[in-house]
């Protein structure tokens, strides 16, 4: 592909949910050479909200459903296949007051003729005292990511919320917990009838109506939650080891606050059914401007609209610098492959990345190199984000370090012994000594520096 030499980008897409990837796909196929800034920590993770769910059963084209992270891997691959360039970072600031527009991301300034805002929405927190103490030590905003961790197995768990997400998570958690309490602020569920029926028919779920979480109990791990009734009077104390938040989302519009009109909840205001915002050349896509529908398919559709509108606008103002392609048909898309669990027969003492407890035992005792161990679960979206970054680190270190991947679903005992409290957890060993441990997605550079210090 011949890249444009333009210093000013035609189009920058901010956000990598269904809206962002679809917008980038359309813009890339229109030869606009789009730059997509995926996001990293602010307002969600690369891939967006579907990285925190299991089965997506309503996205057309997948008759048997598809895992959320897998769907997002596919959208990403399709956008990249057609030439979308990715920057894996947050946009720290966006200045729409002069043209070309200016963005700060990844420690540099990016200028753009047009921008598509596809920053989606973020999970809300309760803001109860002690939340920070027990965050990742019993409290989680993602049942799907963390539900399989050993600390939650056969324990009482709770979900707070009354919508579809809360119901979905309560049902999901019955796979792991001995009992699931659903804590609902009102005397009814906001969830769809079908979802509410599933919850109420499930003998493992107890719904607590008119209740709010007031206090957390426990020392190093959540052991109980105190509930109050609608008038703030003490109600019951539940002996739960896990509390999962499903209390809605806030649109990620901080970047444009004061620059573009927002509604009372912070959603971007656009002309009804149109992606154009109040500033020409700035378009919106997905949940960031949609309090009503908030579905993957509606986000993807609005991403398509935004890209087509941006293309028209750039062409109309004679601003588009298009690329020409050496090959009309790009190479086939690359998709991430699952890690193979090795046995005595196929264990390779020099492999950069292999899976399972056998490999861990062998390398832990025998390897003289820094050893990274990542704990994952198949439905953990952040793991999908983190693993490719870690693979890059190992490739760059050119065999000087090794990785073993432990799937919590297959090796729950190993994870429990290692004190792992959620996925992804990354541990760094040298000579059998644990040197460092990280929870959640980390900057690639931080992990690389820690490993290099052990070489
Ligand atoms: C648990 C759960 C289950 C769901 N299940 C379904 C389902 O089965 N079917 C369905 O259709 N929908 C489902 N949804 C809804 C669906 O996920 C959303 O409607 C959809 O993801 C919205 O897409 P989006 O692209 O607008 O935003 P998001 O998916 O929210 O993505 C936003 C992106 O913006 C990025 N971002 C934010 N701030 C910045 C910044 N400052 N700089 C750069 N990037 C930034 C984030 O990192 C993220 O990549 C579910 C949602 C949840 C939470």
How much distance in Å is there from the Cα of 295 to the middle of ligand 1?
8
Question: Distance between the two ends of the chain, CA-based, in angstroms?
Answer: 38
Q: Active-site residue 167, yes or no?
A: no
Instruction: Determine, yes or no, domain membership for 348.
Output: no
Ligand 1 pocket test: pick from 12, 13, 17 the residue with the most ligand atoms within 8 Å of its Cβ.
Answer: 17
Same domain, 430 and 402: yes
- In a shared domain, residues 445 and 363: yes
Of 245, 277, 308, at which residue does a domain stop? 245
Do 236 and 255 belong to one domain? Answer: no
Q: Are residues 222 and 171 in the same domain?
A: yes
Whether 116 and 259 map to the same domain: the answer is yes
Most confident of 13-27, 37-51, 189-203: 13-27
Q: Are residues 159 and 260 in the same domain?
A: no
15 & 91 share domain: yes
CATH number of domain containing 199: 3.50.50.60
* 55 and 15 within one domain: yes
Residue 287's closest CA among 265, 316, 309, 308? 265
Residue 40 — φ and ψ, nearest 5°?
Answer: -140, -55
Q: Which domain holds residue 183?
A: 131-245
Rounded to the nearest angstrom, the distance between the alpha carbon of 124 and the centre of ligand 1 is: 14
Position in ligand 1 atom list of the atom nearest CA 21: 25
Please check whether residues 366 and 424 belong to one and the same domain: yes
pTM over 0.95: no
Average pLDDT over residues 106-125: 94
Contact between 43 and 119 (Cβ < 8 Å): yes
145 is catalytic: no
Nearest Cα residue to 370 out of 279, 416, 436: 436
In a domain, 336, yes or no: no
Residue nearest (by alpha carbon) to ligand 1 atom 1: 53
Tell which atom from ligand 1 comes closest to the C-alpha of 302. 26
Both tokens of residue 273?
């059914």
Shortest-distance Cα residue to atom 52 of ligand 1: 49
| One domain for residues 362 and 440 | yes
Instruction: Give per-residue pLDDT as tens, 353-381.
Output: 999 999 999 999 999 999 999 999 887 88
Question: Are residues 354 and 404 in contact, defined by beta-carbon separation less than 8 angstroms?
Answer: yes
pLDDT band at 171 (very low <50, low <70, confident <90, very high): very high
Of 224, 245, 266, the one marking the end of a domain is: 245
Say yes or no: 137 and 240 in one domain. yes
DSSP per-residue letters across 202-269: -TTEEEETT-EEEEEEESSSEEEEEEE-TTS-EEEEE--SEEEE---EEE--GGGBTTB-B-TTSPBP
Residue 396 DSSP SS3: helix
Q: What contacts 63, CB < 8 A, 6 or more positions away?
A: none
If DSSP codes are grouped into helix, strand and coil, which group holds residue 383?
Answer: helix
Residue 343 lies in a domain: no
CATH of the domain at 404: 3.40.30.10
Dump pLDDT digits (tens) for 221-248. Answer: 999 999 999 999 999 999 999 999 999 8
**Residue nearest ligand 1's atom 38 by CA:** 43
Place of tokens 């606008």: 313
- For residue 59, the CA-to-ligand 1 centroid distance in Å is 14
Eight-class DSSP state of 183: E
Using the mean position of ligand 1's atoms as its centre, give its distance from the Cα of residue 135 in Å.
22
Q: How far apart are CA 12 and CA 29, in angstroms?
A: 15
The residue among 260, 287, 316 that closes a domain is 316
If 0-12 CB within 10 Å is exposed, 13-18 middle and 19+ buried, where does residue 135 land?
A: middle
Atom 26, ligand 1: which residue's CA is nearest? 286
Q: What is the pLDDT of residues 27-59, one digit of tens each?
A: 999 999 999 999 998 888 899 988 877 778 889
Determine contact, residues 428/152, Cβ cutoff 8 Å.
no
Q: Given a cut of 80, is residue 401 above it in pLDDT?
A: yes
Quote the CA–CA distance of 368 and 410 in Å, as a whole number. 26
* Same-domain check for residues 137 and 80: no
Q: What is the number of the ligand 1 atom nearest to the C-alpha of 121? A: 30
C-alpha distance from residue 7 to each of 4, 57, 122, 224, 311 (Å) = 9, 42, 32, 56, 18
* Residue 121 in contact with ligand 1 by CB distance below 6 A: yes
Q: Is residue 431 included in any domain, yes or no?
A: yes
Q: Identify whether 346 is part of a domain.
A: no
Domain count, the chain: 3
- pLDDT tens digit sequence for 423-435: 899 999 999 999 9
Q: Is residue 398 part of a domain?
A: yes
Q: Does the CB atom of residue 15 touch ligand 1 within 6 A?
A: yes
Of 106-115, 118-127, 257-266, the least confident: 118-127
Q: Is the CB–ligand 1 distance for residue 120 below 6 Å?
A: yes
333 in a structural domain: no
Determine if ligand 1 sits within 6 Å of the CB of residue 110.
no
Q: What angle do CA 394, 397, 401 make, to 5 degrees?
A: 65
Ligand 1 neighbourhood includes 56 CB (under 6 angstroms): yes
- For residue 296, report the distance from its CA to the centre of ligand 1, in Å: 7
378 within domain boundaries: yes
Confidence of residue 149 (pLDDT cuts 50, 70, 90): confident
Separation of alpha carbons 395 and 352, rounded Å: 8
CA 216 to centroid of ligand 1, rounded, Å: 29
């Amino acid at each position: 592909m011949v890249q444009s030499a333009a210093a000013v980008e035609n189009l920058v897409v901010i956000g990598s949910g269904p809206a962002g990837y679809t917008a980038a796909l359309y813009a890339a196929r229109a030869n606009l050479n789009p730059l997509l800034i995926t996001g990293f920590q602010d307002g969600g993770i690369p891939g967006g909200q579907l990285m925190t769910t299991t089965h997506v059963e309503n996205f057309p084209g997948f008759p048997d459903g598809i895992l959320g992270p897998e769907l997002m891997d596919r959208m990403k691959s399709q956008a990249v296949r057609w030439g979308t360039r990715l920057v894996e970072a947050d946009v720290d600031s966006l200045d729409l007051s002069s043209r070309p527009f200016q963005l700060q991301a990844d420690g540099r300034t990016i200028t753009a003729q047009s921008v598509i805002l596809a920053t989606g929405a973020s999970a809300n927190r309760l803001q109860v005292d002690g939340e920070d103490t027990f965050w990742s030590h019993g409290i989680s905003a993602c049942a799907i990511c963390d539900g399989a961790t050993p600390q939650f197995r056969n324990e009482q768990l709770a979900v707070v919320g009354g919508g579809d997400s809360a119901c979905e998570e309560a049902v999901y958690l019955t796979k792991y917990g001995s009992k699931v309490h659903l804590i609902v602020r009102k005397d009814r569920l906001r969830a769809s009838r079908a979802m509410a029926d599933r919850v109420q028919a499930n003998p493992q779920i107890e719904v607590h109506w008119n209740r709010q979480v007031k206090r957390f109990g426990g020392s190093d791990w959540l052991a109980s939650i105190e509930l109050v009734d609608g008038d703030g009077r003490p109600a019951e104390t539940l002996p739960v080891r896990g509390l999962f938040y499903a209390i809605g989302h806030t649109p990620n519009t901080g970047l444009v606050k004061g620059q573009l009109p927002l509604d009372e909840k912070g959603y971007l205001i656009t002309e009804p059914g149109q992606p154009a915002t109040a500033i020409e050349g700035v378009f919106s896509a997905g949940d960031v401007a949609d309090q009503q529908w908030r579905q993957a398919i509606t986000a993807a559709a609005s991403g398509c609209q935004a890209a087509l509108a941006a293309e028209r606008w750039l062409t109309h103002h004679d601003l588009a610098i298009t690329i020409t392609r050496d090959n009309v048909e790009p190479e086939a898309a690359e998709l991430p492959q699952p890690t193979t669990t090795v046995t005595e027969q196929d264990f390779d003492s020099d492999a950069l990345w292999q899976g399972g407890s056998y490999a861990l035992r062998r390398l832990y005792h025998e390897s003289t190199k820094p050893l990274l161990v990542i704990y994952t679960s198949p439905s953990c979206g952040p793991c999908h984000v983190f693993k490719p970054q870690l693979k890059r680190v190992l490739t760059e270190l050119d065999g000087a370090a090794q990785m073993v991947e432990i799937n919590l679903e297959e090796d729950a005992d190993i994870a429990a012994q290692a004190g792992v409290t959620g996925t992804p957890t990354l541990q760094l060993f040298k000579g059998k000594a644990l040197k460092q441990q990280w929870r959640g997605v980390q900057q690639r550079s931080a992990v690389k520096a820690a490993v290099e210090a052990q070489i």
